[in-house]
């Protein structure tokens, strides 16, 4: 619940560190965390343990679900969200999975990068490498949403022997710009950075005000995003300060535009290098245009045993707002060697 979340944040502020261990439970004294109201763990995944992975600038935090002997899955959230993004979906998945859901650096309970450092997407590949190496995962599967659905296939293209499969929610590769637009894009990013560095982290008077702000920010791109979803993200996304008000835990610089955008040619090169099976789940009310996803699927490959696209009812946060429509697809994909023909396969969105 909210009280436990606040206590845990204060522990982090005191630099208490829970470091993942070799082949046992990641924590000997796990901290339980809320944010799962209304969800029953019917599929057998145990309540999550809080985990931390040491990195040079602090730690990457997360939640570990299930038994470490299960099939290893790394769950990665989208921009400005946190590991709580998966709180409604993961309890519905099979007990045969072991899922570590991360807070990206600068999000949730993870450390902010060093003062003055930015958050270019290219640094997220190193973050993943730190975590999977600490977990001693030789091979693992990605479960990635939105921005992370751009990060995951690039990592899989760079280190194909490490990635066994991918489930991508609401994305495939990064948002890109033509090469000719990069100078203008860089100029806009540099100008925006100056303004962000001068801003202070706003204090909200009440917890409800924080939830309302999250709801306001997300509903613009996802009409199905509701107050319960906002409250779930708020557990890891905000903390109480010394005045009794609340501030977002994320680093303000997370909002900075990438100084060097990814371009279309780069995206295609990495997608072509993907060798593992891939399930792309897109919501009916997505804001991602079909003319982005369909050409990228063809770049990855046309083998139906390798690449599947499934369209489901819901909005951009379908895994959070309608977890039941996603859970069965994820389970069946991750727990069989081949994707069976009875998936609701579509060739175009």
Q: Are 27 and 63 in contact (CB under 8 A)?
A: no
Of 111, 110, 109, 112, give the one whose Cα is nearest residue 6: 109
Q: Are 270 and 125 in contact (CB under 8 A)?
A: no
Q: Where are the alpha helices (DSSP H) in the chain?
A: 2-13, 123-134, 148-158, 182-197, 207-219, 227-237, 264-272, 290-300, 318-321, 323-334
> What is the token pair recorded at 187?
């100029």
Q: Are 23 and 134 in contact (CB under 8 A)?
A: no
- β-bridge partners, 165: 141
> What is the token pair recorded at 239?
């903390």
Of 103, 102, 57, give the one whose Cα is nearest residue 237: 103
Kindly list the catalytic residues.
146
- Residue in this structure with the two tokens 């009794």, named with its chain if needed: 244
DSSP annotation of 86 reads G
Tell me if residue 84 falls in helix, strand or coil.
helix
Q: Which residues contact 92 (CB under 8 A, 6 or more apart)?
A: 39, 42, 43, 323, 324, 327
What interhelical angle do 148-158 and 123-134 show, nearest 10? 70
Helix count and strand count (H, E) for the chain: 10, 10
């Amino acid at each position: 619940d909210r009280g436990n979340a606040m206590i845990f944040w204060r522990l982090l502020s005191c630099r208490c560190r829970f470091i993942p261990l070799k082949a046992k439970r990641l924590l000997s004294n796990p901290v339980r965390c809320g944010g799962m109201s209304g969800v029953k763990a019917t599929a057998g995944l145990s309540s999550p343990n809080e985990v931390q992975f040491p990195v040079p600038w602090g730690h990457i935090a997360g939640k570990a679900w299930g038994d470490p002997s299960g099939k290893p899955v790394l769950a990665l959230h989208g921009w400005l969200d946190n590991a709580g993004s998966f709180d409604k979906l993961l309890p519905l998945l099979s007990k045969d999975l072991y899922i570590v859901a991360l807070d990206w650096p600068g999000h949730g309970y993870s450390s902010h990068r060093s003062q003055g450092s930015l958050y270019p997407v290219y640094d997220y590949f190193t973050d993943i490498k730190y975590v999977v190496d600490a977990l001693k995962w030789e091979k693992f599967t990605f479960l990635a949403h939105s921005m992370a659905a751009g990060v995951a296939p690039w990592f899989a293209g760079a280190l194909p022997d490490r990635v066994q499969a991918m489930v991508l929610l609401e994305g495939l590769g990064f948002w890109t710009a033509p090469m000719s637009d990069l100078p203008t894009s860089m100029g806009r990013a540099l100008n925006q950075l100056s303004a962000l560095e001068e801003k202070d982290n706003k204090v909200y008077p009440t917890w409800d005000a924080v939830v309302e702000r999250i709801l306001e920010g997300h509903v613009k791109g996802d009409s199905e995003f509701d107050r319960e979803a906002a409250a779930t993200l708020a557990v890891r996304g905000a903390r109480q300060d010394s005045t009794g008000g609340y501030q977002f835990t994320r680093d303000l610089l997370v909002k900075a535009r990438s100084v060097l955008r990814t371009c279309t040619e780069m995206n295609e090169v990495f997608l072509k290098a993907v060798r593992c099976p891939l399930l792309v789940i897109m919501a009916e009310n997505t804001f991602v245009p079909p003319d982005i996803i369909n050409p990228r699927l063809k770049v990855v490959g046309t083998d139906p045993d390798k690449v599947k696209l499934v369209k489901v009812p819901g909005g951009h946060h379908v895994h959070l707002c309608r977890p039941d429509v996603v859970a069965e697809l994820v389970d069946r994909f991750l727990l069989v060697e081949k994707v069976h023909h009875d998936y609701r396969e579509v060739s175009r969105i």
